[in-house]
Amino acid sequence: MRKIRATQKRLHAANSQTDRELYQRQIDATDKQIDALVYELYELTEEEIKIVEGEK
């Protein structure tokens, strides 16, 4: 979470669109890593993951 918060601060302070896009991609990638670890921790099936993520 600290990594995401630090990157969010950089995102909000970014001066260029390129930097904002870079920081947003970093946040998205970190968030996906966290999700994957949680899914693994709770041993979720593919079907359960789809439900959690709101997919059909």
Scanning the structure block, which residue is given the tokens 């947003």? 24
State the pLDDT at residue 3: 87
Answer for the pair 25, 45: CB distance below 8 angstroms, yes or no: no
State the pLDDT at residue 55: 81
Answer for the pair 56, 50: CB distance below 8 angstroms, yes or no: yes
pLDDT in tens, 1-56: 788 899 999 999 999 999 999 999 999 999 999 999 999 999 999 999 999 999 86
State the pLDDT at residue 56: 61
Range of the domain at 48: 2-52
Measured at the CA of 23, the angle between CA 54 and CA 11, to 5 degrees, comes to 105
How many domains does the chain contain in total?
1
